[in-house]
Structure 1
Amino acid sequence: MPIPETLEDARATLSRVFGFASFRGVQEQVVSRVLAGRSTLAVMPTGAGKSLTYQLPAAMLPGTCVVISPLIALMHDQLRAANANGLAAAALTSVDMDRELTIERFRSGQLDLLYVAPERASQPHFRELLTRSPPALFAIDEAHCVSEWGHDFRPDYRLLRPLLDAFPEVPRLALTATADRHTRADILAQLGIREDGLVIAGFDRPNIRYRITPRDNALRQLRALLGEQPGPGIVYAPTRNGVEKLAAQLAETGRRVLAYHAGLPAELRTANQAAFVASEDMVMVATVAFGMGIDKPDVRFVAHAGLPKSIEGYYQETGRAGRDGDDAVALMLWGADDFARARMRIGEVEEHRQPSERARLDALANLVETPTCRRAVLLRHFGEHPPETCGNCDNCLHAPGVTDATQLARKLLSAVYRTGQMFGLGYLEKVLTGAADERVTDRGHDQLSVFGIVPGEEAALLRPVARALQARGTLVTNEHGGFMLGGDARALLKGEGRLDLVVAPKAERTSRRRRAAEGEPNPIGDPLFEALRALRRELAQEAGVPPYVIFHDSVLRDMAASRPGSLQELGAIGGVGARKLEAYGDRFLEVVRAF
């Protein structure tokens, strides 16, 4: 089978098919390995262009690249993008009605890309299909699903190895944005990729601004976010009921807001997802069931109305914002009750997984309670060595205060212990502040040494201290919500530890006028830019695809700035490949000339 001779061929294809003048990050390294027939695990952050590392070889290599992907929605999203760039792509899924035609196109060598789910790829009949027309490449997307260490473990991924081993000459390209050291080692072992085949691009998403704050009024806090961010966004809520209630409340702001969770009818989920993908300003309120299948590049914010399940999950979910490279916001609202529920859930998983689950939760606690750079904490979790500050998270932009709350923490822990480890914070506050309360006196707790030992000026810190102690597992709750000692509580009581409490600064209100002066990521209000977006919407409706499949906002922004006067000048803009230039070039030039 002939192999492209040099990377010059790859760069030429990159320009001609995809419209890019150069590779980004480790793309060139990964593509080079694939074209040389070397199996690879590429760990690349969301938005770094993972799909290009197999779509470009698919455009060059004789034969078909078989892409194993976990979600039908993700496959169809990438199908649209591949077809828009002139690649011949198809999928074999339960919802694709052209199965026989797709098989015939594959057998006759007409496909560049064939997308399948792991459940189908692991079956003997699929292996038999490939023996008649061996593939050029196996691409395993969302490869962390193969690992029990991963946060999205899918057992069917563990069944792929026999398929891969049946074609030892075919290179394997495993791709993921989310894999810590344990998970990376497991992926390599499970998919039969040598250790020297690991390529790590890093985990940093510098265009995402991380904001993490205690939840005091989630609806008010989220409405403020929607007021700041006019573009599309995702709000994650922890329960189905919470999703529907929050979607209805946020819709009262006047924005179009839809709901998505596994309890909705399949046809409604599909319709809501399609509407979101095609929108330029919609908000989706969802459980974490929504998102892995979304390749929408222009999501401007991702908000968590509660604590994510893990720091890996948080990284992946926030990574759905700003995939186009423009500025985006990731807001997390958390509460002490989130940590209490999470620690109770850990007790329900298999015993051998509990230590790793505790470590993940402790990592989240460190992230939400740190007074230092959020991004640095996040990147260190994935084994990187980032700078001490990033300049684009809440703590770096508005440094919080830190106060030594060790003595107050000991007073609270002592009250928990002396009252029998059965009461919630409200009751303990009354004991500690010496409040006149019938329940306190009836139980004789007004005679305890801890009664009234917290003066008024300290009392305001009791709730933040309790929240911090719950986050780190020093305080845990029973089934009735009463506090019990846990973790390092006894060590703290003995004077063997300390609690530094983060005191958030007053939030700065940024006016729309000030944000406009600082420069919006998209020049909203520029009449040419708006006209180009209007044409994009029209073309997208005609083609039955989301607007970003035609062109990303960044491409339209470059058009508005450079105002090309010819097809040649338009083709020189990044992201305008030959197929799109031929299909849409004249229409966009007409709009530019009108200005």
Structure 2
Amino acid sequence: MAQFTSLEAALKHFFGYDSFRSGQKQIIEHALNKRDSLTIMPTGGGKSLCFQLPALLRSGLTIVVSPLIALMQDQVDALKDNGIGATFLNSTLNIEEARSRQIAILQGKIKLLYVAPERLLNPGFGEFLERIAGKVGISAIAIDEAHCVSEWGHDFRPEYRRLQTLRQRFPQTPIQALTATATKRVQQDIIQQLNLHQPQIHIASFNRTNIHYEVKTKDRTIYRQLLQNIRTESGSGIVYCLSRRSVEEVALKLQHDGIEALPYHAGLSDKQRSINQTRFLRDDIRVIVATIAFGMGINKPDVRFVYHYDLPRSLENFYQESGRAGRDGEPAKSILFFSLGDLKKIDFLIEQKSNEAEQRISRQQLRQVVDYAEGTDCRRTIILRYFGERYRGNCGKCDNCLNPKPIEDWTIEAQKFLSCVARCREKFGAMHVIDVLRGSRKQKIQQYGHHLLSTYGIGKDKTADQWKMLARSLLHQGLVAESNDGYRILKLNKASWEILRKQRSVEIAVSKPDKQRAVASNSRKAEAEILFDRLRMLRKQIADRQSVPPYVIFADSSLKLMAQVRPTTLDSFANLSGINQYKTQQYGESFISTIREFTAQQKLPTPLPSGSQMTTLQLHQQGLSAAEIAKERGMAVGTINTHLCELIEMNQPVALNKLVTANKQQAIIQTIEKLGDNLLKPLKEHLGEEYSYEEIRLVRGWWRSQQK
């Protein structure tokens, strides 16, 4: 730390950022004081920096426990691209590679070592750890995805339980446990299982302010809705499905409709899953269609949308999966397609569980997802309340807030409902209370004598769905509590009694049936966004040469800053957020050159007769291929090639040489002169398989332009 005047100076030097995100500085200061800690910070909140920066400011080696090979490789690539000494040891390395890395570690050239829990606990690896401790020192142990230690977590892994032996082996070494989500029960389990000593517990807000949440009705048009939405979105995305079969079907349909998509599920071989995931991370494809097998360790920061084609199994799963969008803090979308028909599929899976308590809790978790989907309150309020965080007001970034239902005073109805909960002695769930209110003659009502209660039948003026709507809203607003044992028993709280004593009013958003929502159309991209796309293409080329994902080179947020600020010197380039001196030396000249070229060519070409053709021409002149233009515009490649053919015939500035090689052009022209230009099939048959119809059409367009 001595070489830096402040933590901010160190942050800029190593990672290129000028300031910390909320909570990061306090966690880092605590780590530098050699104290145990538990950090719960949502996906995209900057957890990794909380152990990476302290590792660079302390002497010795920091060991990072990571559950997935892809995750540790991703983080190491990003660190090395910042000029930081980091490496991993896992099963992907051969003996020589592993030995070389071990030597570098013992020579003190490495500051962060990533390992899986299985390897860390291997007796043979334990001997190597002792050598590290004796020669360079182990400054800290960071346990990422720490929720895996708890049976109550959403992704329990038995091998994580054994990590408690680390405390016995290295009693003086501080341990940092980090995870994106953990209920209070999971937090307590992590502390106990890892034997953390009076840890500082930092719980960041679970509020992902950049994500737009929306629920759409799932019906027979679901695939058309999905396709239309993907075509209007920019960037890459994930589509989650419940079954392997759905994954394969949706991926195949998207491919057929011109969307670059691949499947990901446990039925694929390890090699194929790895290939598909890598292609997604490196922007070779735009969409990954997956089951929950595509989960933890997906470190791609620039995912712009996540669609749930089927109902997720719990709100925690939904939060984790939707949270893979917008990790870079830029605007992103989470869309859930909802149909009660999905309940039967998930209920069948729950039936396969052998433990009755597990079944009961799983059903409660499923009903919480349904409550979210059918809820009329702010989606953000519902999600945050699940994690014990209060949020009140209009978020302005979910469908319920952007398309608000009429707000009505339901205080009297709430008093009736809560009074019935009290008279049922807080021993039943919402459905039983509703049955009592509506005067049901079910045997269960008679059995408990609830037909004799004063609240029996006083709610006949409302439908069962209306009472359900009220019950959900009371829960979401924290005006009544619910047990978490799977039985969903309603309990009165302080706010409930305030309502009953007429000290608090109740207002709820009342949904009206069959109300259609307008879909806003995307506006045309601004000039800065056009430059951003060009910079993104350059980033992809560099990333491909280095065999790393594009976001390892620069985050989208850094590219957008470049497009807005347009730095023309290395000094101004280095001052941008997310860019340190090392990256400036590596890539500065290439990006500055592209910015200068764009600035010099800002003048747009003469407008074409068709606005759609004009847009295609502009993208073509930015260097995009027909496939890339089609992807950008959400059109078929054939449509874009038709535009280019027509543009060529109009003598517009289309770079034919970039589309068809000179040798092929000459052969096609000779064939046209011999057979004529009326029909493509005779030309194709004469030229052979090496020539595509698109190439022939493009050259024919040029040939026709010369005849005018």
The normalised TM-score by structure 2 is: 0.68
CA distance in 2, matches of 1:138, 1:356: 34
CA distance in 2, matches of 1:132, 1:38: 24
Q: Offset of 1:220 from its aligned partner?
A: 2.0
SS in 2 for 1:101: helix
SS in 2 for 1:136: strand
Task: Please state if 1:34 is matched with 2:31.
Answer: yes
Distance 1:196 1:169, change over 3 A: closer
Distance 1:211 1:526, change over 3 A: closer
- Kept after mapping to 2: 8 A contact 1:138/1:171: yes
Q: Aligned match of 2:383 in 368, 378, 383?
A: 378
Q: Aligned match of 2:367 in 362, 366, 379?
A: 362
- Kept after mapping to 2: 8 A contact 1:146/1:158: yes
CA distance in 2, matches of 1:190, 1:593: 56
CA distance in 2, matches of 1:332, 1:393: 12
**Residue 50 (structure 2) aligns with:** 53
CA distance in 1, matches of 2:305, 2:576: 27
- 1:261-300 to 2 correspondences below 5 Å: 261-279=265-283, 282-300=286-304
SS in 2 for 1:160: helix
Q: Offset of 1:338 from its aligned partner?
A: 2.5
**Residue 159 (structure 1) aligns with:** 162
* Greater displacement, 47-56 / 210-219: 210-219
- Kept after mapping to 1: 8 A contact 2:260/2:287: yes
Q: Offset of 1:166 from its aligned partner?
A: 1.1
Q: Which runs of 5+ in 1 are unaligned?
A: 419-457, 473-485, 489-498
CA distance in 2, matches of 1:389, 1:180: 25
- 1:182-193 to 2 correspondences below 5 Å: 182-193=185-196
Q: Which runs of 5+ in 2 are unaligned?
A: 414-430, 444-461, 474-486, 490-508, 600-708
Q: Aligned match of 1:84 in 81, 86, 89?
A: 81
CA distance in 1, matches of 2:284, 2:468: 38
**Residue 560 (structure 1) aligns with:** 563
Q: Offset of 1:101 from its aligned partner?
A: 1.7
Q: Offset of 1:293 from its aligned partner?
A: 2.1
Task: Please state if 1:200 is matched with 2:203.
Answer: yes
CA distance in 2, matches of 1:118, 1:23: 30
- Kept after mapping to 1: 8 A contact 2:4/2:10: no
CA distance in 1, matches of 2:441, 2:593: 73
CA distance in 2, matches of 1:297, 1:37: 30
Q: Offset of 1:343 from its aligned partner?
A: 4.0
- List per-residue Cα deviations over 1:477-508 (Å, max 9, x = no partner): xxxxxxxxx989xxxxxxxxxx9877463121
Task: Please state if 1:227 is matched with 2:224.
Answer: no
Work out which structure has the larger RCO, using CA pairs closer than 8 Å and 6 or more positions apart in sequence: 1
- Kept after mapping to 1: 8 A contact 2:239/2:290: yes
Q: Offset of 1:535 from its aligned partner?
A: 1.8
CA distance in 2, matches of 1:551, 1:67: 23
State, as a whole percentage, how many aligned pairs show the same letter: 40
- List per-residue Cα deviations over 1:164-190 (Å, max 9, x = no partner): 331122111111111111111111111
- Whichever residue aligns with residue 522 of structure 2, its letter is R
Q: Tell me which structure has the larger Cα radius of gyration.
A: 2
**Residue 105 (structure 2) aligns with:** 106
**Residue 606 (structure 2) aligns with:** none
CA distance in 1, matches of 2:558, 2:188: 38
SS in 1 for 2:187: helix
CA distance in 2, matches of 1:142, 1:379: 20
**Residue 541 (structure 1) aligns with:** 544
SS in 2 for 1:185: helix
* Greater displacement, 214-223 / 352-361: 352-361
**Residue 71 (structure 1) aligns with:** 68
Question: What's the Cα RMSD here?
Answer: 3.4
**Residue 518 (structure 2) aligns with:** 508
Task: Please state if 1:12 is matched with 2:9.
Answer: yes
- Kept after mapping to 2: 8 A contact 1:233/1:281: no
- Whichever residue aligns with residue 52 of structure 2, its letter is Q
SS in 1 for 2:245: helix
* Greater displacement, 140-149 / 119-128: 119-128
Q: Offset of 1:125 from its aligned partner?
A: 2.4
- Kept after mapping to 2: 8 A contact 1:402/1:501: no
SS in 1 for 2:177: strand
- 1:304-383 to 2 correspondences below 5 Å: 304-347=308-351, 348-383=353-388
Distance 1:196 1:70, change over 3 A: closer
State how many pairs are aligned: 521
Q: Offset of 1:340 from its aligned partner?
A: 3.4
**Residue 176 (structure 2) aligns with:** 173
- Kept after mapping to 2: 8 A contact 1:235/1:284: yes
**Residue 394 (structure 2) aligns with:** 389
- List per-residue Cα deviations over 1:128-148 (Å, max 9, x = no partner): 221111221111111111111
- Whichever residue aligns with residue 390 of structure 1, its letter is C
CA distance in 2, matches of 1:253, 1:416: 53
- Whichever residue aligns with residue 116 of structure 1, its letter is V
Distance 1:5 1:186, change over 3 A: farther
Q: Offset of 1:149 from its aligned partner?
A: 0.9
- Kept after mapping to 2: 8 A contact 1:44/1:177: yes
- 1:404-423 to 2 correspondences below 5 Å: none
Task: Please state if 1:94 is matched with 2:98.
Answer: no
CA distance in 2, matches of 1:81, 1:576: 12
**Residue 532 (structure 1) aligns with:** 535
Q: Offset of 1:415 from its aligned partner?
A: 11
- Whichever residue aligns with residue 287 of structure 1, its letter is T
**Residue 59 (structure 2) aligns with:** 62
Q: Offset of 1:395 from its aligned partner?
A: 0.5
- Kept after mapping to 2: 8 A contact 1:232/1:280: no
- Whichever residue aligns with residue 318 of structure 2, its letter is Y
CA distance in 2, matches of 1:58, 1:154: 26
- List per-residue Cα deviations over 1:399-427 (Å, max 9, x = no partner): 24699999xx979x999989xxxxxxxxx
- Whichever residue aligns with residue 112 of structure 2, its letter is L
CA distance in 1, matches of 2:201, 2:141: 16
The normalised TM-score by structure 1 is: 0.80
**Residue 126 (structure 1) aligns with:** 125
Q: Offset of 1:579 from its aligned partner?
A: 1.2
Distance 1:239 1:346, change over 3 A: closer
Q: Offset of 1:361 from its aligned partner?
A: 2.6
Task: Please state if 1:571 is matched with 2:574.
Answer: yes
Distance 1:503 1:75, change over 3 A: farther
- Kept after mapping to 2: 8 A contact 1:230/1:281: no
Task: Please state if 1:143 is matched with 2:146.
Answer: yes
- Kept after mapping to 2: 8 A contact 1:127/1:163: no
Q: Offset of 1:329 from its aligned partner?
A: 0.4
- Whichever residue aligns with residue 120 of structure 1, its letter is R
- List per-residue Cα deviations over 1:27-67 (Å, max 9, x = no partner): 10111111111111111111111111111122222221111
SS in 1 for 2:336: strand
- Kept after mapping to 2: 8 A contact 1:138/1:170: yes
Distance 1:26 1:255, change over 3 A: same
SS in 2 for 1:530: helix
Distance 1:203 1:506, change over 3 A: same
Q: Aligned match of 2:247 in 239, 243, 247?
A: 243
CA distance in 1, matches of 2:527, 2:64: 37
- Kept after mapping to 1: 8 A contact 2:364/2:488: no
**Residue 452 (structure 2) aligns with:** none
CA distance in 2, matches of 1:325, 1:226: 20
